[in-house]
Chains A and B, each alone.
Chain A
Amino acid sequence: MSTYPDNLKYAATHEWVRLEEDGTATVGISNHAQDALGDIVFVELPEVGATIHAKDEVAVVESVKAASDVYSPVSGEIIETNGLLEDAPETVNSVPYDDGWFYKIQISDELELDELMDADAYFDHCEED
């Protein structure tokens, strides 16, 4: 698994978003974020149906070490959340870009994706951390 997959866009606050073929998007937290948090023990996800704005606090990740807010990288309506994280939050540690996704969102403004970083820019951003 690549640490910075090329097919994703990244927020400065360490969330990733993947635009799907049907126009929805999938959101999670980056490998860099899960590594910094350490073992994740709870994930609090948004309600399906909720309308959110980019940069809203949309989820909370609790690791052994700390609690951390997750900010939505894009605006839209939550259409699905990852139920797997209820019982197996450690999935975010092991496969953050795969089964460790947080929610799917019907995005309301695709232009917001242009404001996010590509893999190279995000790599540089993490190196500066």
Chain B
Amino acid sequence: MGQKTSLYQKHLDAGAKMVDFAGWDMPINYGSQIEEHNVVRNQAGIFDVSHMNIVDVSGPDAQKFLRYLLSNDVAKLDEIGRALYSGMLNETGGVVDDLIVYRMNFGYRVVVNCATRDKDLDWIRTHGQGFDAKIEERPQLAILAVHGPKAIEKVCSILDDEHAAATAQLKNFRGFESGERFIARTGYTGEKGVELILPNAEAPEVWDKLMAVDVKPVGLGARDTLRLEAGMNLYGHDMDESTSPVAANMEQTISWQPQDRDFIGRAAVTAHKTEQLEGGLPILTGLVLEQRGVLREGQKVLCENGEGVITSGSFSPTLKHSIALARIPLDSGACQVDIRGTLTDVRIVKPNFVRFGKKVFE
């Protein structure tokens, strides 16, 4: 038996098929992954992502420490509640993890992946030595993600007037605190929505209230196809400690300015950028297969310029054909994928397939 979130019983009540996910008993689906996927594209769905790890960083050196620890620059967070997506790199420029960091009243809240919890904490604590910063995990908090075109309206309908007004006004990548509760316009689906961070004890009641206004439960299966359609990376698949963010479509998470900011991995990723321009480092791009068949992680991609590999692939329920993220040589030209022994032509597109329910690539 694995670890359970505060919503474990709610998942069972909703008919979830539970699976082990990095030591946690989590819902993979509640019947049909495709139906859950479509609910998020068309209506509103709720995900329990309480298995993700919240690490709060506070104290006089909190900002100084995170500006050193992360490739993106938390100094950009000029207001309380603002959020930033960042990589946490090692000295060789590999990705230790990807994360979201929020500026909070007390300092900063970092949300890291579940499967990387132990190594992330070790990494953060080790590099935090010498900084006057407090690093604290928050296992007593649950995280609910509510996403879809109707998500914000549904969430507002279960809140009191004051919180509903504050939620309705939130811009993307902004949040607000209310005691131990935190609501932010962040997510992993390519739809509008919010993430609610709240005490475990309150999570089942909020879940019930959202069910009562016809928000549907969505499992980790649909979470994966939604994020893939949105062209968002999955740690351990699209990048890991041996991958440069430059080769993982994460260059936007590196804040090169100011030039005198020293962050872990800076020298390495600076060199990677040059290497890539010279053709020595691959890129992460999107692949589309409009005929029958499904692109899968690990399949070989044969390009004019050399060989690549699919890092994430699936059937896109929105587009009704297969899409993938693949790491291939720069300027690859025409590509074929080896699907179970058959070489199949695929199209290279920008790694962003669906936003707000609509196809976005040419």
Contacts and interface: CB of A to CB of B under 8 A. Distances in A.
Interface in A62-95: 62, 64-67, 90, 93
Nearest to B222: A64
B294 A67 contact: yes
A41 B33 CA distance: 11
B340 interface: yes
A39 interface: yes
Nearest to B28: A38
B193 interface: no
Contacts of A90: 34
B292 A64 contact: no
A62 B225 CA distance: 15
B39 to A, nearest CB: 13
The residue in A42, A60, A64 that gathers the most chain B C-beta atoms within 10 A of its C-beta is A64
A44 interface: yes
Interface residues of B, number: 14
Interface string B274-318: 000000000000000000111010000000000000000011010
Interface string B169-201: 000000000000000000000000000000000
Contacts of B225: 64
Contacts of A66: 296
A42 B292 contact: yes
Nearest to A86: B292
A93 B292 CA distance: 19
Which size bracket describes the interface of A in this complex? 10 to 19
Contacts of A60: 340
A124 to B, nearest CB: 22
B29 interface: yes
B315 A62 contact: yes
Contacts of B221: 38, 64-65
B270 interface: no
A41 B29 CA distance: 16
Interface string A88-114: 001001000000000000000000000
A67 B296 contact: yes
| Most chain B C-beta atoms within 10 Å of own C-beta, residue among A38, A39, A62 | A39
A44 B292 contact: yes
A39 B340 contact: no
A62 B293 contact: yes
B32 interface: yes
A64 B296 contact: no
A39 B221 CA distance: 10
B314 A64 contact: yes
A82 to B, nearest CB: 16
B300 to A, nearest CB: 15
A64 B315 CA distance: 6
Contacts of A39: 32-34
9 shortest A-B CB distances, which residue pairs? A41-B315, A39-B34, A62-B294, A39-B33, A64-B315, A42-B292, A64-B33, A38-B33, A39-B32
Interface of A: 38-39, 41-42, 44, 60, 62, 64-67, 90, 93
26 contacts: A38-B29, A38-B33, A38-B221, A39-B32, A39-B33, A39-B34, A41-B34, A41-B315, A42-B292, A42-B293, A42-B294, A44-B292, A60-B340, A62-B293, A62-B315, A64-B33, A64-B221, A64-B225, A64-B315, A64-B317, A65-B33, A66-B296, A67-B294, A67-B296, A90-B34, A93-B32
